[in-house]
Structure 1
Amino acid sequence: MPRMWQSSDRIFLIAIKESFVALIPFIVINSFLSLILALVNVWQPIWEQSQNYIWFSQFSINLHAFFPFLVLLSISIHFAKYLNLSPVALASLSIVTLISLHVHPVSTIEVFYHFSEMLADPRAVIIPILMAYTLQKMAGIEILSFIKTANLSEYLKQHLNLLVPMMISFLIVTLAVFTLSYVVEFLFELSVEELANAGNFGEVFFRVLTTHILWSIGVHGDITFQLFVGTDNGLREIFPHLTITQFMDIFILFGGSGGTMALIIAIFISSKDSSSLNVAKIALPFSFFNINEILIYGLPITFNLKLMIPFVLLPCMNMFIGYFAVSSGLLTFNGQGFAWITPPLLNAYIASDNFAVVAFQAGLIVLNILIYLPFVRRYELINNGSVSENMLENKMQLQTGFARLSELNYSQKQSEELAAGNKLKKTIREVLNGELLLHYQPKISLETNKVTGFEALLRLQMESGKIVGPFFIKEFDDAGYDNLIDNFVIKTVADDLKQWQAEGFYPKVSINLNPNNILEQEMQDSLIGMLGLMADSIEIELLESVFMSDLKRVEECIALLSNHGFSFVLDDFGMGFSSLSLLSKISVNGVKLDRSILQYTSNSKGKTLYKHTCMLCKSLGFSLIAEGVETKEEADFVKLAGVDYIQGWLYAKAMPMLEAKKYAQSINELESPRGND
């Protein structure tokens, strides 16, 4: 359990840290604008009436007001990363929740005011954190994820499955924040009422404690405090010649809220963490003018218990010490005012004309440094236990990488499918504009040197008249149109055989069908219905792959069609890796040897392999057909090896039906095969 808590705690701290670090450029710009305007107020107050000053002033105010909304977005993005949530979904849900807290039954004229009020709402810092953990919990409930199919993009499926968890999370967080806001507001108002009886000490203590707690949870403490109180009474004197604001600037806020000039010095003294040192270096020049947002959000101090403790408690300690010193008469002041950006030590001297006050303030700074030091070392120790942090960050990067690759693969698949779809449409147009044909390549018997049959091969006559091979077969197969092609082949072969038989020509014809289709009852019925009466003239060539997919079904199919008179040939033997073992299991009539093994007969090992393959097939009772025979030397070799039939360009390419018949008749009328002397 402790380890689980440490892991969860580390995820929280890393997400918070990265959320505010991402905003550092914005924070620096904001701090710089505030400093420029404050310096103008001190040194050139006459410029306050100029248009440039007014523009910069309004720009700075609007940036400050917009900051909580930027924090909401940044926290949403970074918590989503570490909690494996959709950043867009989390940010959108947090914004919707924020909007819901500012819905008022008012006229349209006042809506803009409420929108501005919403942007500056300090709850914008808390809402995305609550929403992140709530949404993670809801998204982890299996029953709320109703999309289970694997045919959708993971990205799309993730967001569809977030629909119900998002609605539930919205209700939970909105009600929780609304209730919590009501309770906090009630307690705060009650506390403010009690302050009237608490005196100056109670009032200042409450202000110091409240503003620093607000700062430590990412909210601008001073502005938010004034929103609750309504009016700032910082100009009221609590001691002779010393207002509340001056008291806080001298004894509490040196370097900004939390006495953070002391924290910066403590970091320079003891820290070896490069990240902390870099933030301290950036924050140092601003801390001289009591601007410390860079340090609060950059380390961060916000939501970081290791630094929140001294950040909140040290100002309270300083307040007790300072209040005692002034009230006891140890320190006196002259009533001279100074701007809030006046550097520490200098503001003490201006307000008192007394080095005793300067020394007292310096002593407080030293005391604060000494107290901050162990916390800085502790923070550095934990921060430098960065092996687990790096592992966590690497894990997140890996997780993000997998998600991106998954989505990329899906997108690529979609792109490929789109391209394939476009290509298919183009192919269909070409097929429809052209004409599907069957050409027949002769098979020659090596025993009689006569044409004994043909292999029916699909061709496409393009619109231009050019005849090309069946380049569209794979596309049609992938699109599920393969049965159309098979039906065309069956019907065309049936028509051609009928015509040939009517003319007294009775060749045997081999046909190639989609291996999956032939196992279907519908295709078997088509074969029997259209070719059953001529089944003894039909040879069905089956690829090795169909046997490997479901041998039992294939054998049942062969048995059924064999009973009707069809014969079967194993096509392209020699291309697969399981061919030899397959031969003992199948019930085909013949084996067609692929040209790929014939190509290796140029060397002795290739010739031995081919001969022994032929011997094996013959010993198992198969007739042998050698395809792709292109030279007389190859024809002589396969004949010696025991091949029964050959087909290839040595004799003829595939040709139209009428030419095929003429070719067969011309060859069969000769006393010897073509090419033999």
Structure 2
Amino acid sequence: MRKISSLLNRLNKNSQIIALQDASITLVPMILAVTLLVMLTELLALYSTLPIVLTLRSIYHHFYIFFPFLFTITLSLSLAKSLGLHAATLILLCCSLLFLFVADSMSSLENLNQSTFYKLLPIPLCLATANLYRYFSQKKQLQIIQSNDVSFNIKSNFNYILPLTITFAIIISTLLLMDNLWQKQTDIQHISELIEVESNNFLHIIYLKLTYKITWFFGINPSHIFSFLERPFHAALIENQLAFNNQLPIPNINASGMYFFSDIGGAGSAACLLIAILMFSKSRRNKKIAKLSVLPSSFNISEILHYGLPIVFNPFLFVPFVIVPIILHFNAYFFTWIGWLSPVVAPVTWTTPPFLNVFLATGGDFMAVVIQLLNLVIGTLIYLYFLKMFEASNLDDQLVSHFYQKIGIDSKNMQTLQYRNQHSLTKKIDSENEINTALARIIEGNLKLFFQPILSIKENRIVKVEALIRLEDPDGHISLPTFIDTLTAAGLSKEIDQWVIKTVVQQSQQWANKLENVSISINISPEFLLKESTAEFLIEMQQQAKHHLNFEILENQVVFNERKINENLKKLRDHGIETFLDDFGSGYSALSLLSKLNIDGVKYDLGFARSLDSDEGSQLFSSCINVSQALNHTTVLEGIETQKQFEIAKKSGVDMIQGYYISKPLDAQQLIDYMAQRKP
């Protein structure tokens, strides 16, 4: 089972799956409003035949007619966030393609509602469009403006043109081809004749359940597409009703209404999952969704669970969502077959609450209530097993919330967090326990900043200090930030970067005139520089600081995001903010990268310092310095620990050095004392 859990975990962390889940969750407020509308409508229908009832039902009907359009918007937005694309552009592109393709069906809403292709199209359309657009937008040959002499907005807008045009042409051509095949092969009448479902054939029942649940998994209500599959069961119910009224033997076990035993509280037997969450879940978020679903589920309306938890596009919950109804149906079938349970003999509205629905449907058989209760217990136990696996695969949302409070940043949507660095999450961390442990350590202790002096060789003085994060445990012990890689894998590097930058600015304001002619260097992750708003944030922080800030970008990831990061680097350079490529030589190095990035300097990894004792190492470092000088880059060498390394580094022509030979990292007051001692 561990292998199954690991497979499901990797599927659940796939960026496309996460985008699909996020798109579903975005629709929850609208689905909740429509759900309440349905409940109100059904209550009014019990006591009134006023026109308002028809109007309310019409609103519900029209909502699900336009649901594919709404889902296209939310999915485009989610994919844009996941793939780093311009959201408005992708939304307009996907919606335009969908609109153009179904324009012929929009002569009336009913024509649109009857279009099966229209209901199935949004997911493949958005996925294909987003990935194609991303692929072509990364091709430099398709960029109309490659110069950095024009403004960022003008350059970006012009460079959208060719990727958009090519993507549009490919998708629209594919859709026209598919539409032609669809019209020839999938006329709905042809399908209904081709697929004949026999109500008393149990294999056909399994087929029907699988078809419905798989369709639900992709966020599509199957009753809007495959309602023709239910016709034999409606006919079987009519036969049962006639036999019951004439006191004849009931001919059919499987009839419309039998789903009350297998889909308790809504599709997939949502009531079973609801109970499992409310009784056993450790996730506050999941419990909130479950509480919101209690009232609708009592009327067999389960969309809030489907889209809010979500069940749709969720590999963990898809398995029980499919197998639970099949097992529960078999259970009810068995008890009916041996004569303990009366067959369904009366039509009952689908919104009739559990227990009451089976009691009425079986003509008042109390045993039906007992069997439905038994099914509820069985389904809950099955869901519970998969629910535990699902929650074990996710971050502890309470720890994340406390972490945000600890570092003074507003809590974010947990689903958005999943977008961050999905590949690292699946490759480097097999279990979220490591992340939760790191968060717990931070919450229990205190994050602190230390500052390591950097010496200018030419001026023979401290010209810069690097801000370094440390963790102080409850006993006062200071430890290195071993949690950084783990939190980066969890997608929390941006939050750490923000905390460090804001804390540095506060410290700079406190130092004011106590620390003069010194700049402060801050490490930031490449991922942080992918956000369009990052440059503006850093510029604002510089304006608030009393010292000049410069930023070091971790070289071990930057090569994968060169173009987008470069745009923000140019903005910073235009505002006089220097940036350095950090840890150059740590394993991902490419000399060609130095000439491509809008950086002002390079910090060479401590591995170079350790190799200075050998002739080969010193010669290699000197060659690297020559390259940097040719590019007008300021150079820094970290990791200097001995007099010999210091002397060799000086001869190499490096501009600045850093390491324990100069000073260990110091807290704020220690740094002031250290600088006072160095004054001539």
TM-score, length-normalised on structure 1?
0.53
1:278 pairs with 271, 277, 288, which one? 288
In the TM superposition, 1:367-406 aligns within 5 A as 367-384=378-395, 385=432, 388-391=489-492, 399=528, 402-406=531-535
SS at match of 2:532: helix
Per the alignment, residue 162 of structure 2 pairs with 164
Q: 1: CA distance between counterparts of 2:260 and 2:292?
A: 23
CA–CA distance in 2 between the matches of 1:182 and 1:208? 30
Whole-angstrom distance in 2 between the partners of 1:112 and 1:284: 32
Kindly provide the amino acid, as one letter, of the partner of residue 110 in structure 1: S
Structure 1 partner of 2:19? 15
Offset at 1:380? 0.3
Quote the Cα distance in structure 2 between the aligned partners of 1:297 and 1:392: 29
Change (3 A) 1:170 1:162: same
1:389-425 per-position Cα deviation (integer Å, ceiling 9, x unaligned): 4438859997588413557999xxxxxxxxxxxxxxx
| 1:207 match | 208
Deviation at 1:178, TM superposition (A): 5.8
Alpha carbons 1:216, 1:301 under 8 Å: kept:
yes
Q: Contact between 2:37 and 2:60, CA under 8 Å: does it hold in 1? A: yes
Distance in 2, Cα, partners of 1:91 & 1:406: 25
* Structure 2 residue 357 is matched with structure 1 residue 347: yes
- How many angstroms apart in 2 are the aligned matches of 1:312 and 1:161? 45
- Quote the Cα distance in structure 2 between the aligned partners of 1:7 and 1:236: 41
Aligned equivalent of 1:149 = 147
1:292-441 aligned at under 5 Å gives the runs: 292-333=302-343, 335-352=345-362, 353-384=364-395, 385=432, 388-391=489-492, 399=528, 402-406=531-535
What are the superposed Cα offsets for residues 428-487 of structure 1, whole Å, 9 maximum, x if unpaired? xxxxxxxxxxxxxxxxxxxxxxxxxxxxxxxxxxxxxxxxxxxxxxxxxxxxxxxxxxxx
Secondary structure class of the residue paired with 2:273 = helix
> What is aligned with 1:235?
234
Select 2:39's aligned residue among 17, 20, 35.
Answer: 35
TM-superposed CA distance for 1:183, in Å, is 7.0
Match for residue 76 of structure 2?
76
Contact 1:15 1:79 in 2 (8 A): yes
Bigger radius of gyration among the two: 1
Contact 1:28 1:294 in 2 (8 A): yes
User: CA–CA distance in 2 between the matches of 1:120 and 1:280?
Assistant: 31
Q: Which residue of structure 1 lines up, in the alignment, with residue 64 of structure 2? A: 64
Residues 267 and 280 in structure 1, CA contact (< 8 A), matched pair in contact too: yes
Residues 528 and 534 in structure 2, CA contact (< 8 A), matched pair in contact too: no
Structure 1 residue identity aligned to 2:52: N
The yes-or-no answer on 1:129 pairing with 2:138 is no
- 2:517 aligned partner: none
Q: Does 1:249 align with 2:249?
A: no
**In 1: Cα distance, 2:493 partner to 2:82 partner:** 9
Could you tell me whether the CA contact under 8 Å between 2:68 and 2:118 is conserved in 1?
yes
Residues 55-106 of structure 1 deviation map (CA, whole Å, 9 limit, x = unaligned)? 22222221222222111111111210121111111111111221232244x9
Query: Judging changes above 3 Å, is the alpha-carbon distance between structure 1 residues 231 and 393 closer, same or farther for their aligned structure 2 residues?
Result: farther
Partner of 1:110: 107
1:564-579 matches, within 5 Å, as none
Note the C-alpha offset of 1:371: 0.9
Q: Which residue type is aligned with residue 99 of structure 1?
A: F
2-structure distance, mates of 1:212, 1:20: 16
Aligned to 1:338, what secondary structure does the other structure show?
A: coil
Change in Cα spacing, 1:231 to 1:176, as seen in structure 2 (3 Å) is farther
**Cα separation, 1, equivalents of 2:307 and 2:359:** 30
| Amino acid aligned to 2:81 | K
Q: Within 2, Cα distance between the matches of 1:183 and 1:198? A: 29
CA contact (8 A) 2:230 2:256 kept: no
Q: Does the residue aligned with 1:149 lie in a helix, a strand or coil?
A: coil
Are the equivalent residues in 1 in contact too, given 2:65–2:109 (CA < 8 A)?
no
Q: CA 1:337 to 1:198, structure 2 compared with 1: closer, same or farther past 3 Å?
A: closer
Distance 1:53 1:243, change over 3 A: farther
Please state whether the residue corresponding to 1:257 is helix, strand or coil. Answer: coil
Kept in 2: contact 1:252–1:318 (CA 8 A): yes
* CA 143–301 in structure 1, closer or farther in 2 if over 3 Å, else same: same
Q: Structure 1 residues 101, 261: closer, same or farther in 2, change over 3 A?
A: same
Q: Larger deviation: 11-20 or 57-66?
A: 11-20
* C-alpha separation in 1, matches of 2:61 and 2:392: 38
Corresponding residue number in structure 1 for 2:300: 290
State the partner residue of 1:462.
Answer: none
Q: TM-score, normalised by structure 2?
A: 0.52
Tell me which residue corresponds to 2:90: 90
Q: Which moved more, 1:361-370 or 1:139-148?
A: 139-148
Gaps of 5+ in 2: 1-5, 242-251, 396-431, 436-486, 499-526, 540-680
Deviation at 1:171, TM superposition (A): 3.7
In the TM superposition, residue 184 of structure 1 has moved relative to its aligned partner by: 7.7
Aligned length: 400
- Report the CA distance shift for 1:260/1:179 in structure 2 as closer, same or farther (over 3 A): farther
Contact map agreement 1:81 1:396 (CA 8 A) in 2: no
Counterpart Cα distance in 2 of 1:360 and 1:203: 23
Residues 65 and 194 of structure 1: is their aligned pair in 2 closer, same or farther, counting only changes over 3 Å?
A: closer
Aligned CA distance change for structure 1 residues 169 and 330 (closer, same or farther; 3 Å): farther
Identical counterparts, % of pairs: 24
